[in-house]
Chain A
Amino acid sequence: MSRFARWPVYYLKTALEGLRRNLALNLVAVLTIGLALMILGAFAFLHVNLERVVVSSTQALSFSIYLKDGLAPRDIEETRRKVSEIPGARSVTLVTKEQALADLRNRLGNQSGLLDGLDENPLPASLELILAPDLDRRRLPELTARLSALPGVDDVSFAWDWADKLKALVRFVNVGGLVMGGLLFLAIVFIIAGTIRLTVVARRDELYILRLMGATESFVRTPFILEGVFQGLLGGLLALSGLASGHLMLATQIQLPLGLSLIRLVFLPLSWSLGLVLVGGLLGFLGSFLSLSRRVGL
């Protein structure tokens, strides 16, 4: 077995000792890294949740065609036939006023009591038109006009109106996350490089003695590298627990407005959570590596 295999205990002990010796400084560093990673994680959290909404809303390319109140079944059937003749139509489903109300009750869940006070059903009946997914989107305005002009039709809404806005929001979150991420990565690397550098300088006599005794560069440097990695990992764990408690608060304590509570917030997937912690460790590695690039002592 090579000599390297015997050193981990020494490296680990020395790194932990380094963290302990400069406890205050290291705590501040870990807190700062934790905060920075938490901001990153918040972007990831937004991304994941928005993406879910977008996916669920754009699975089908669809129109909701709201019908005027009080149409005779024969008129409804006539409108339905005309709608199904629209080019690109795949299926047309009638949603009656009663079904619409039942749907809303379902989606409101335990808040559905709100609807009990209604004297009459305010929801219109509608035809749900599902279009071929490969339909040319430039034709949508024309289709909207044609559908609106049909007899018995009150209003037409295209699901993509708001899906597009959501998508724009997702793009904004993604780009913002990337830009912020880049800046925060840099900040974290420099924080770690700075604190490790201070430790290195504080221990220059020790490094001199180690090198004089024939310690290799990896023997001298590895404990510092590990120290940086630990800082990063701890920061990552801190960020993760911060995000988890934030998520818990949003999910249970704060009463969201009606509309928002319809969207159930999910936490970051396990792989992302682990990723956040690992990114912390990686940035710690980079930071301490950087801080050791200039040599101190002998």
Chain B
Amino acid sequence: MIRMFNVTKRYGGHIALQGVTLEVETGEMVFVAGPSGAGKSTVIRLITAEEREFEGQILVGRQNLRRMPARLIPALRRSIGVVFQDFKLLPSRTVFQNVALRLEIDGVPSAVVGKKVRHVLKRVGLSGRENAFPLELSGGEQQRVAIARAIAGDPALVLADEPTGNLDLDLTMDILELLEEVNASGATVMMATHSRDILESRDHRVIRLEQGRVVS
């Protein structure tokens, strides 16, 4: 699903990733681990083509990101669900609208959108909260909305960048289980984290980064 060969990413003179080679199989769930500043988020931003400048090769699905023209970026991103530490929900829209937006972007017929949104909200345990606004929800609930939004379009790949960074341990485990369910239902999941607790509590494969290099 994801292959990086000898990828180097520089910000000006600063090297964020150096010679990173990694592979994530379709259907796999992996952690990308490492201390703050190791380059975890950079890996994710490269995969979503948010960062377009890099050395080396990146393959996502069948796309070679080095050769992919800019006009194909939207389609690439529609095939990926992304979850962030700070949720990135739209505060002026309800839970329902936040999730529906994902489907509207995908061009799902509006007649089907409502049904799909309710279904996916049920999956993440938020039935009945459709009309709440994000800021009326707890952090754990907001992250569930973000996950619902990420998986609403049934993406083949879900990227989570420290999704539990703002949550306490109980909620962290809930979110982790949710992502494992998403993985169990077929999606490839890559989750960045710097938390030892998480890594030790699960036995998914771990890609360790330190100062921009893969160390194990």
Residues of A within 8 A of B (CB): 3, 6-7, 9-10, 21, 205-206, 209-216, 219, 298
Q: Say whether B215 faces chain A, with CB atoms less than 8 Å apart.
A: no
Instruction: Pull 28 A–B residue pairs with CB atoms less than 8 Å apart, ordered by A.
Output: A6-B108, A7-B107, A9-B110, A10-B104, A205-B88, A205-B90, A206-B90, A209-B88, A209-B90, A210-B105, A211-B74, A211-B77, A212-B48, A213-B77, A213-B78, A213-B102, A213-B105, A214-B74, A214-B76, A214-B77, A214-B78, A214-B79, A214-B105, A214-B106, A215-B105, A216-B74, A219-B105, A298-B50
> Which residues from chain B contact A219 at a C-beta distance below 8 Å?
105
Please state if B110 and A6 are interface contacts (CB–CB under 8 Å). yes
Q: Given A213-B82, A214-B77, 19 other A-B contacts at CB below 8 A?
A: A3-B107, A7-B107, A9-B110, A10-B110, A205-B88, A209-B90, A211-B74, A211-B77, A212-B48, A212-B77, A213-B77, A213-B101, A213-B105, A213-B149, A214-B79, A214-B80, A214-B106, A215-B74, A215-B105
Contacts of B149 in A (CB 8 A): 213
**Nearest chain B residue, comparing its CB with the CB of A9:** B110
Inter-chain contact A212/B107, CB cutoff 8 Å: no
Q: Is the interface of B mostly helix, strand, loop or mixed?
A: helix
Q: Indicate the member of B105, B106, B149 with the most A CB atoms within 10 Å.
A: B105
Q: How far is the CA of A21 from the CA of B101 in the complex (A)?
A: 18
| Residue in B48, B50, B107 whose CB lies within 8 Å of A6 | B107
* Number of residues on chain B facing chain A (CB within 8 A): 24
Interchain nearest-CB distance for B70 vs A (Å): 10
Closest chain B CB from A265 CB (angstroms): 49
Contact in complex: B92, A21 (CB < 8 Å): yes
Tell me the bound Cα distance from A210 to B106 in angstroms.
11
Q: For A6, what are the chain B residues with a Cβ–Cβ distance below 8 Å? A: 107-110
Contact with A along B102-140 (1 / 0, CB 8 A): 101111111000000000000000000000000000000
Contacts of A3 in B (CB 8 A): 107
* Measured CA separation A7–B76 after assembly (Å): 20
Q: Which residues of A contact B82 (CB under 8 A)?
A: 212-213
Q: Mark B74-95, 1 if CB is under 8 A from A, else 0.
A: 1111111010000010101000
- Please name all residues of chain A whose beta carbon is closer than 8 Å to the beta carbon of B78 when the two chains form the complex: 213-214
Tell me, rounded to whole Å, the shortest Cβ–Cβ distance linking B104 to chain A: 5
A7 and B108 CA atoms in complex are apart in Å by 9
- Cβ-closest 4 pairs across A and B: A3-B107, A214-B77, A214-B78, A214-B74
Complex: how many Å from CA A186 to CA B80?
Answer: 43
**Contact across chains for A214 and B107 when beta carbons are under 8 A apart:** no
Q: How far is the CA of A3 from the CA of B82 in the complex (A)?
A: 23
Known: A10-B104, A21-B92. A212 touches B50 (CB 8 A): yes
A219 to B104, CA, bound (A): 10
Q: List A contacts of B80 (CB < 8 A).
A: 214
Specify the chain A residue showing the minimal Cβ separation from B81. Answer: A213
